[in-house]
Amino acid sequence: MDLSAINPVLFVAGFLVAATPLIFAAIGELVVEKSGTLNLGVEGMMITGAICGFATAVETGSPILGFAAAALGGALLSLLFAFLTQITLANQVASGLALTLFGLGLSALLGQSYVGIKPPRLNDINFGPLADIPVIGPILLTHDIILYLGIALVAATWAVLKFTRAGLILRAVGESHDAAHALGYKVVRIRTLAIMFGGACAGIGGAYISLIRVPQWTEGMTAGVGWIALALVVFASWKPWRLLLGAYLFGGITQLQLNLQGAGVAIPVEYLAMSPYLITIIVLVILSRDKSAAPACLGRTFHASS
Amino acid sequence: MTDTPLLDLSGLTKAYPGVIANDDVSLSIAPGEVHALLGENGAGKSTLVKMIYGLVKPDAGTMHMFGAPFTPSEPRAARASGVGMVFQHFSLFDALSVAENIALGMEDAPKMGALSQQIRDVSDTYGLPLAPDRVVGDLSAGERQRVEIIRCLLQQPKLLIMDEPTSVLTPQEVEILFKTLRKLSAEGTAILYISHKLEEIRALCDSATILRLGKVVGHCTPAETSARDMAEMMVGKLLQTPTRAGKSPGEVVLELANLSVSSPNAFGMPLRGISVEVRRGEVLGIGGVAGNGQDELLAALSGEMLSTPGMIRFEGQNIGLLGPTPRRAMGILSAPEERLGHAAAPDMSLTENAMLTAAAREGLESGGILNWGKARGFAEKIIETFDVRTPGPSNAARSLSGGNLQKFVIGREVLQRPDLLVVNQPTWGVDASAAASIRQSLLDLAQNGTALVVISQDLDELMEISDRFAALNEGRLSEPRPAQGLTVEEIGLMMGGAHGMEVAHV
């Protein structure tokens, strides 16, 4: 065993990258759940975004266009969920599970001719001389635009939910759809928009895996990140900053266990591989021991009857 | 009063499948007038005000505001025209703050800081104390209502609709509300006031329209008409005042000794050292402002909340650690306040709901196999005995109006011949004649030797049926006193917690 093989700077920079897909998927789901809808199809929307983004980036040569296509693909798939749950009033849990299975199958079909190809690389932002600052430079300032966008999105979501009227209406719909309806707010429209936002975010998160983190296309490559995102939203008590913390914790331990595997630690690989899931959940359970802040109407079907 | 009425309704008709909710209803309200809308449950009052507020579209008929046609397509439009409404079931968001709740009900809400200031101004002007930054989930019923009223007032309404505003208030809170309403009326705001409480209407309203089965059956001036006459116009028959023969209570059935339990709910109130005895054939009335431990007391007696052995004795037995099912088997029955979700499962049929609490005592099951035929028979018996208005026992509990479901929930327990019956708000939202029959059935139970604990916000009701009266305050129970001869001032002091030396903690 040789722990000195782990370079702390590369390690931290690596876990920021590892956490980004999770941040996107989870912040999107947080908005969806705040509106009172439970979409269990995050994994399906991520993998669909991963292949839409990958294919578009390969065909056009532009990774940015790839991310745009990933957002669009995720949002389109989520529209199916919105139709099922908001228009036909289908059960949200069953619809979400179906969406995941559908997304996994659809992405495998779309991705058949893309296996083994290397996608175009998205360049890191050039911070000029700032990037040469020791430690901070290589950790924080050697990343692509999407990673920074993810952090900005967490901040923006927090600010919108807390300070704006749009955020207030979104929370109100999630707290009591009947009362919101009585006041004249369009519950179905608001929830559909939230679901589409969640789909777009999950799509970007998926594309981040296929275009930057791995980067290549394999079937089922999101490997449960969508489910972790779902758990993260709950354990973060629907709070954006706590969600960011949880994502980094998960990303950090994922990165650490990979490094430990590389360093040949005498712990079976299976234990190392399960540790990120285990530790993230334990920490967030402890954090969320205060009163659960679940939106009161989460998962309940809304039917407008006078 | 001016010549053009503020609001003029003529020939309004609205039919739902199987029932005509409003049939050719006409009335007019002048600026500054306090107009009462009276009627039993299901008389069509709610449908009428929903049409004025734009929630329901009339099938026929016209509405005019200041002589101009008024056809609100949605609540937003009604609010823009100057109609404000305070709902019977508060349309508030528990997890949000007072200011956020108010902002949601406004078209162009100002920034939170400015809005908080406006809320403080209005609450000072109209004597409705309320802190804008408190979370609504922590507020009492009276305070929640203030949130709704202030939400309406901030939009300077010309017409304020109040749907049973006093059903959850203490006498003191009612006084505050009436002062506010009189002040508004003096400033020219018309008020359409829906209530069952006839004495209140006589004290407050300038004129009244009485509805029965969707039709207008009369207009009157409440100050010049007796409450009894109005009630009889409402129900169309003579009212029975609950009566009972004099009797002396029997042996002690329920004994609480220093009962202290913490509340399972973060917003709840713990019970603190409650000691009281209830005898066979006696009615113990428990008053107090909502949220002072009423729900917890019911839960502790029904077995939903367990307590340390020795604190609760039933016929000498320690029952603190028994759950609801064994307690039901012993003859301790209860009907909680929350009808939908607590006393009844909203989406299950009345037959299923009858099965839920009566399976053991009425022999509706044997060896784990349910006897649906018998359960249906029991449900039909409740419907018939308590005049529950519903097409039949296979209808979902949710489909009944509040008052009708209340009759069903109380009837279900009363018909199971309890030895001890605990009820919370037995007549909340129930019209005068149905309330009278519920009270009569409670008194009949007592007559037959059942011990009753009646928890209620309605002091008139408690005075009418209680043998002894006590008040809950901050989870403590005052010393019970004979109900006969208690004055309103004495009751107010009991409710305010003047019974002990301890300072009330908020």
CB A251 within 8 Å of CB A209: no
Q: Which residues pair with B22 in a beta bridge?
A: B14
Domain coverage including residue A252: 3-122+139-287
Nearest beta carbon to residue A175 from set B79, B87, B96: B96
Strand positions, DSSP E, B411-450? 420-424
Say what the pLDDT of residue B90 is.
Answer: 62
Per DSSP, B504 falls in state P
CB A211 within 8 Å of CB A57: yes
Say what the pLDDT of residue B503 is.
Answer: 37
Say what the pLDDT of residue A274 is.
Answer: 85
DSSP string computed for B35-59: EEEE--TTSSHHHHHHHHTTSS--S
Nearest residue of A to residue B72 by CA position?
Answer: A184
Identify the segments of chain A with pLDDT beneath 50. Answer: 306
Q: Which residues pair with B317 in a beta bridge?
A: B314
Q: Cβ of B104 and A175 within 8 Å?
A: no
- The tokens of B388 are what? 């529950």
Nearest residue of B to residue A175 by CA position?
Answer: B93
Helix, strand or coil, per DSSP, at residue B421: strand
Q: Cβ of A172 and B266 within 8 Å?
A: no
Q: Cβ of A296 and B95 within 8 Å?
A: yes
Provide the shortest C-alpha distance from residue B394 to chain A (in Å).
21
Report ipTM (2 d.p.): 0.76
| Residues 6+ positions from B78 with CB-CB distance below 8 Å | B52, B53, B54, B72, B85
CB < 8 Å from B in window 178-217 of A: 178-180, 182-185
Say what the pLDDT of residue B247 is.
Answer: 64
Per DSSP, A87 falls in state I
Q: Show residues of chain B in contact with A185, CB under 8 Å.
A: 104
Q: Cβ of A183 and B87 within 8 Å?
A: no
CB < 8 Å from A in window 42-61 of B: 50, 55-56
Q: Please tell me the distance from the alpha carbon of residue A46 to that of residue A103, in angstroms, as a whole number.
A: 8
Provide the shortest C-alpha distance from residue B104 to chain A (in Å).
7
CB A86 within 8 Å of CB A194: no
pLDDT tens across B177-193, in order? 888 899 989 998 999 99
Say what the pLDDT of residue A291 is.
Answer: 55
CB < 8 Å from B in window 127-166 of A: 165
- The tokens of B420 are what? 């001890």
CB A77 within 8 Å of CB A48: yes
The answer to whether A289 contacts chain B (CB < 8 Å) is: no
Nearest residue of A to residue B50 by CA position?
Answer: A306
Whether residue A162 lies inside any domain: the answer is yes
Whether residue A293 lies inside any domain: the answer is no
Q: Please tell me the distance from the alpha carbon of residue A27 to that of residue A25, in angstroms, as a whole number.
A: 6
pTM of the model: 0.70
Task: Residue A162: give its domain's CATH number.
Answer: 1.10.3470.10
Full set of structural domains in chain B with CATH:
7-235 (3.40.50.300), 252-494 (3.40.50.300)
Whether residue A161 lies inside any domain: the answer is yes
Whether residue A134 lies inside any domain: the answer is no
Nearest residue of A to residue B101 by CA position?
Answer: A172
Please give the single-letter amino acid code of residue A237. Answer: S
Provide the shortest C-alpha distance from residue A290 to chain B (in Å).
11
Q: Which of B118, B100, B112 is nearest to B156 (CA)?
A: B118
The answer to whether A26 contacts chain B (CB < 8 Å) is: no
Say what the pLDDT of residue B506 is.
Answer: 35
Q: B14: exposed, middle or buried (C-beta count within 10 Å: 0-12, 13-18, 19+)? A: buried
The answer to whether A171 contacts chain B (CB < 8 Å) is: yes
Say what the pLDDT of residue A306 is.
Answer: 41
Number of domains within chain A = 1
Say what the pLDDT of residue A127 is.
Answer: 84
Provide the shortest C-alpha distance from residue B407 to chain A (in Å).
24
Each residue's pLDDT tens digit in chain B (506 positions)? 446 788 888 888 988 776 788 888 988 899 999 999 888 766 788 888 888 988 888 898 889 988 888 888 888 888 888 898 887 666 788 888 899 888 888 877 788 888 889 888 888 888 788 888 888 888 877 788 888 888 888 888 899 998 878 766 777 778 888 888 999 899 989 999 987 777 788 888 999 998 888 888 888 888 888 877 887 787 676 555 666 655 677 889 999 999 999 887 766 788 999 999 999 999 999 988 777 888 899 999 999 999 999 899 999 899 989 999 899 989 999 998 888 888 899 889 999 999 998 888 888 888 888 899 999 999 999 999 988 888 889 888 888 877 788 889 999 999 999 999 999 988 877 777 788 888 989 999 998 889 999 998 877 788 888 999 999 888 899 989 888 878 777 777 787 654 443 333 33
Q: Show residues of chain A in contact with B93, CB under 8 Å.
A: 171-172, 175-176, 179-180
Whether residue A47 lies inside any domain: the answer is yes
